[in-house]
Amino acid sequence: EVVMTQFPATLSVSPGERATLSCTASQSINANLAWYQVRSGQPPRLLIYSKSTRATGIPPRFSGSGSGTDFTLTITSLQSEDFAVYFCQQFDTLPVTFGQGTRLEIK
Amino acid sequence: QVRLQESGPGLVKPSETLSLTCSISGGFIKSSDYYWAWIRQPPRRGLEWIGSISFDGRTYQNWSLKSRFSFSVDTSKNQFSLRLNSVTAADTAVYFCARMIFGVPKAFNWFDSWGQGMLVSVSS
């Protein structure tokens, strides 16, 4: 199965700044990657699919990029509600697999 | 907006069977655009896709989890269910149900709606 590795495990950033989260696949997954946000006490929320397409209602400060094995989620102008855990997920090959998550915390 | 809600026991004894149900509201399970999925997150670990079922009962499972899981769907109740036989402590996890996009761009894709998740503990 495709192993997804996210780093860093924890990222400390100040509100209003930019956060850059990374996700690496153990083999090429083309553009078949999604990102999710998990706020405390809430279900996962789809942010990005197919590498860079924002899901319905997701603000433009969230953007996805990358290709092949290396992908990035960038969040600009961090708002208080953005401090959460973020997961990547590949759907290029079954079984679909997730990264271990990056916790974005307030610096 | 579709909503999903898991239900079932929060505590199961080792070697027993775990049964969970996901109830769908604000949408219909009968759609060829989706599969209905189960995902779990053991303590201090990442998310793990268990498997998915279509409205007409076709299933795909995560082969790396072996085959202790079974899936069913009840279209009359707009629900789908998961059963796990012979549970052990390793099955302790938060279990989520979710809606999985089917068909495009790949056969199985991302999850666009999730339940709140429920913690299932396996302990005597």
Reported as a single tens digit per residue, the pLDDT across B83-124 is 999 999 999 999 999 999 998 888 889 999 999 999 999 999
pLDDT for residue A41: 86
Tell me which of A73, A94, A100, A102 to substitute to probe the interface with B (most B C-beta atoms closer than 10 Å): A94
- Is A81 in a helix, a strand, or coil? helix
Q: Which of A32, A49, A101 sits opposite B46 (nearest CB)?
A: A101
Segment-wise mean pLDDT, segments of 10 residues, chain A, 107 residues: 96 97 97 96 94 97 96 97 97 96 95
Residue B79: what pLDDT?
Answer: 98
Q: Sign of the C-alpha dihedral, residues B114, B109, A91, A63?
A: negative
Which token pair is B107?
């056969």
Interface test with A, best of B111, B113, B119 (most A CBs within 10 A): B111
pLDDT tens-place string over residues B37-87:
999 999 988 999 999 999 999 999 998 887 789 999 999 999 999 999 999
pLDDT at B106: 85
Q: pLDDT-based confidence at B6, cuts 50/70/90? A: very high
- Residue B63 phi/psi, 5° resolution? -60, -25
Reference A4, options B43, B46, B52; nearest CA is B46
Residue whose structure tokens are 């012979």: B86
Sign of CA dihedral B47, A49, A82, A41: negative
Q: Which residues of B touch A55 (CB under 8 A)?
A: 112
Q: CA B30, B96, B82, B76: dihedral to nearest 10 degrees? A: -30
In contact, B56 and A98? CB cutoff 8 Å: no
Q: How far is A96 from chain B (nearest CA, A)?
A: 7
B46 burial level (CB within 10 Å; 0-12, 13-18, 19+): middle
Dig out the tokens for B19 from the structure.
């049964």
Residue-level pLDDT at B103? 87
- The tokens for B27 are 């949408």
Q: Span B2-16, mean pLDDT? A: 96
- The answer to whether the Cβ–Cβ distance between B117 and A99 falls below 8 Å is no
Whether B49 sits inside 8 A of A97 (CB atoms) is: yes
